[in-house]
Amino acid sequence: MATGADAARITANVQGRAITLNGPLTKDEIRSRIWWWQSAESGTSKEREDVQHEHDDSHRDVITTLGGYYEVSPDPHAPEAEELVDLVYDELNPDE
């Protein structure tokens, strides 16, 4: 298993926030980090509203993998989102 400097790394820009995913991660961990604003259930409605106002729709939500750039679906359970999670999982967990 790769650790430290050898660990796989994937970057994303989602909801105006730069995100780095360092492997290994489970599929649920990947999903919650990519769609972090939807998993912020513990935040107040005011905090969620602030996040929505901060988001700049002029920039697409994208994730950068070894295979290229992929647009992040707004729905974490859409078929294309599931495919993206599988792709990211495979890159972050190459030994499995």
Task: Report the SS3 class of residue 14.
Answer: strand
Q: For residue range 29-77, what is the model confidence (pLDDT) as tens digits?
A: 999 999 998 876 555 555 545 545 454 555 789 999 888 899 999 999 9
Two structure tokens written together for 25: 């991660």
Q: For residue range 2-17, what is the model confidence (pLDDT) as tens digits?
A: 445 566 889 999 989 9
In angstroms, the Cα distances linking 84 to 5, 6, 53, 68, 70 are 24, 22, 26, 12, 8
Two structure tokens written together for 60: 């697409």
The answer, as to whether pTM is greater than 0.95, is no
Report the distance separating Cα 25 and Cα 12, nearest Å. 15
Distance, C-alpha 38 to centroid of its chain: 11
